[in-house]
Amino acid sequence: MASLNQIDVLKQQFSDFLRRKKYRITQERINILDRIAEIDDHFSADELYLHMNGQGDKVSRATIYSTLDLLTQCSILTKHRFQGESAHFELSSRMPHHDHLICTECGRIVEFREESIDAIRDRVADRLGFRPLHHSLQIFAVCHSPTTCVHNTSE
């Protein structure tokens, strides 16, 4: 979980953004950011909705969707499209840059860092006359064993 101090910095960053864009700074919006820090993982809007209402927060899906959109606009959240219908989000500050491996059977998401991928990114951009900034790589695969993937029955 993000430390208290980090959460305060994010809240300040979010309030500044809302003020600058002339959006209202509501307790509800700030509370959503608190709950996201508790999850400390990738999540979909629906998962956040269930998490919050399970904690007794009465918050509508519409508020969750609009707040996730604002948090993505100001780069506090990173939005991923892994597969399927719904986007996944995570706090941008959670982990240094990393890539994702996604099981197409059970939807398990594993994060990894692989420096040789950074080197390939830099080399390709350089060869084509670009200055690399960042990249996003998703590897779609299936879990090896039925114990890690409930949908895998190959063993």
Footprint on this chain of Zn ion (rule: CB under 5 A) = 90, 103, 105-106, 108, 111, 143, 149
Q: Least distance to Zn ion from the beta carbon of 143, Å?
A: 3
Cβ proximity of 37 and 94 under 8 Å: no
Question: Cβ closer to Zn ion: 63 or 83?
Answer: 83
Strand 109-112 with 99-103, pairing: antiparallel
Shortest distance (Å) from residue 117 CB to Zn ion = 14
CB 130, CB 138: distance < 8 Å: no
User: How is residue 94 written in tokens?
Assistant: 């959670």
Q: Which residue is nearest to Zn ion (CB)?
A: 149
Give yes or no for a contact between 99 and 111, defined as CB atoms under 8 angstroms apart.
yes
User: Residue 42 Cβ, how far from Zn ion at the closest point, in Å?
Assistant: 6
Between 64 and 143, whose beta carbon lies closer to Zn ion?
Answer: 143
Using the minimum distance from each CB to Zn ion, give the nearer residue, 15 or 138: 138
Report CA 53 to chain centroid distance, whole Å: 20
For the bound state, the minimum distance from the C-beta of residue 9 to Zn ion, rounded and expressed in Å, comes to 20
Q: Which residues pair with 95 in a beta bridge?
A: none
Pick between residue 64 and residue 90 the one whose CB is nearest to Zn ion: 90
Strands 99-103 and 138-141: parallel
